[in-house]
Amino acid sequence: MAKFLVQSSGPLNGEVLISGAKNAVLPLMAAAILPEENCTISDVPDLQDVTVMTEILTSLGAVIEKPAPHVLDIDMSDLRTNVAEYELVRKMRASFLVMGPLLARTGSAKVHMPGGCTIGARPIDLHLKGFKALGAEIIFKNDVSVEAIAPPEGLKGATVYLDFPSVGATENIMMAAVLAKGSTYIENAAEEPEIVDLANFLNKMGAKVKGAGTDTIKIDGVEKLHGAEHTVIPDRIEAGTYMLAAAITRGEILLRNVLPDHIKPITAKLRECGVTVELGDEGLYVVADRRELTSTDIKTLPYPGFPTDIQSPFMALLTTVTGSSTVIETVFENRFMHVAELNRMGANIKIEGNKAIVQGGKKLEGAQVIATDLRAGAALAIAGLVAEGTTEISQTYHIERGYDSFIEKMRGLGANILKIRD
C-alpha cells in the first residue's frame, strides 16, 4: 500500500494548473451511454475514479479510446448489457449514475449497490423516487442490487420534488428523463456547476434541458440523441484545495484554469481569514505571504453555499489561525472523520453533533494518520505542510481517486511531499 510522507515545507510558491472536475466528468461519462454514437470529452482528469468509470462503461459494451492526453472517445453504439456489476460498482458511489442513462436507453437497468467514501449513509432513495415518478418499477434484491424497469410504453415525463437537492439524484433523473415522453420537472434540484455542465453536454447531444443551475429543471423528452463533444469544467474543489495549501503555508500561488464564480464561497471565507484572492490576466492569485490569519465560521450547504468537499481542508487551515472557529456540516452526517486525525497532529478540535469547534493557533506536529476519505486525505496533506517533523498518511488511494497528479502539483509549488510504497 502506498503512503504519503509530508514534511514542513515553508510558504508555497509558483503556479498550478487546475484539472477538469472529477464531479463533472463522472456524470458526463455516464451520459455518453445515451446516444448510439461516439462522444468526445476533453480535459478529462487523470484519476482513479475515471479509470473505474471507464471500466464500468467498457463492461457495458463501450469502446473507449484516448486519442490524446486528457481526451476520451466513448463509443456506446454496441450496448451489450444493462447490468452494472458489483465488482466495479462497489469501488465508487458515482457508478450509480449509469442507472438513469441505461434505463432511458434500454428501458431497464440493474445496478449493484454503490460503494465510495464512507462519509455518511448516502442513500439512493431520491434517485429511485425520480425513476419511479417517470413510471419505472423498482425492484430490490436484498441489499445487493436494485433494478429499474420502464413500462412497455416507455418512461413518461413527470414532476419530481427532491426532499434534498441531491447532486447525484438530480443528474441521474435528468439523464433518465431526456428520452422520456413529455416534460419532466425536477423541483428543489441541485444547482451545482457540475449539473449545468451535464445539462450543456446533454443539450449538445440534442436533449432539451432548461433551468440547470436553478432549483427547477425542465426536461422535454426527445426521440433520440446523437454524439457530441464537450470540455469538462475546471475542478472547483481541486482549486479550493490548492488555495488552502497556499493559505496554510502563508504562501503565494497562481491558479490557472479556474472559474472564479464557482469558488465564490471559498474565496469569501479565505478573505475573511485575511488571505488576498485576486483575479489577474493569468489566473487567480492567492496571497497569504507570511501574514497572520484569523478565524472564521463555516457552514456547509448545497451550492451556492460553502461546499462540503472543502470543509475538511478548510478546517486544517483553521487549526493554524488566530482565534476559534466553528464549522457546521449540514450535507453529510459523518464528515468529521478527519477531526480525530488532525487532533493526533496537535490540533484542538471538539465535536458537538454536526458542529466542530476549532481552537486555532496550534503548532501542528507530524504523526501517522489515515486518509479516511478523499477530502480528509487532502486536509491531512495540507496540515502536514506546516507540521513539525514527518506526517505519514496511509490509505492515500482515497486522495488519488480525486486529485490528478497530486504529488507532482504539490511538489511543483514547493511542497515537501513524497509517495512511498510499504
Q: Which residues does the annotation mark as catalytic? A: 117
Residue whose CB is less far from ligand UD1, 122 or 204: 122
Report, in Å, the least distance between residue 412 CB and ligand UD1.
Answer: 25
Nearest to 27 by CA among 11, 58, 50: 50
Using N-to-C axis directions, what is the helix angle for 125-133 and 167-177, rounded to 10°?
A: 20
Closest C-alpha among 154, 152, 194, 145 to residue 174: 194
Residue 61 or 120: which CB sits closer to ligand UD1? 120
Place of cell 448545497: 302
CB nearer to ligand UD1: give 13 or 51: 51
To 10 degrees, what angle do helices 236-248 and 264-273 make? 10
* CB of 9 vs ligand UD1, minimal distance in Å: 27
Q: What span, in angstroms and rounded, lies between the C-alpha atoms of 319 and 81?
A: 50
Residue nearest to ligand UD1 (CB): 168
Question: Nearer Cβ to ligand UD1, position 36 or 215?
Answer: 215
- Report CA dihedral (149, 97, 93, 56) to the nearest 10 degrees: 90
Who contacts 212 (Cβ-Cβ below 8 Å, separation ≥6)? Answer: 174, 189, 195, 196, 198, 199, 200
In the complex, what is the shortest distance from the CB of residue 229 to ligand UD1, in angstroms, rounded to a whole number? 22
The minimum distance between CB 53 and ligand UD1, in angstroms, equals 10
Q: Which is nearer to ligand UD1, 26 or 209 (CB)?
A: 26
Nearest C-alpha neighbor of 263 from the set 277, 280, 246: 277
Of residues 237, 314, 251, the one with CA closest to residue 285: 251
Residue type, 379: A
Q: C-beta of 32: minimal distance to ligand UD1 in Å?
A: 16
For binding to ligand UD1 (CB under 6 A), which residues are involved?
23, 26, 93-94, 120-127, 164, 166-169, 190, 194, 308-309, 331-332
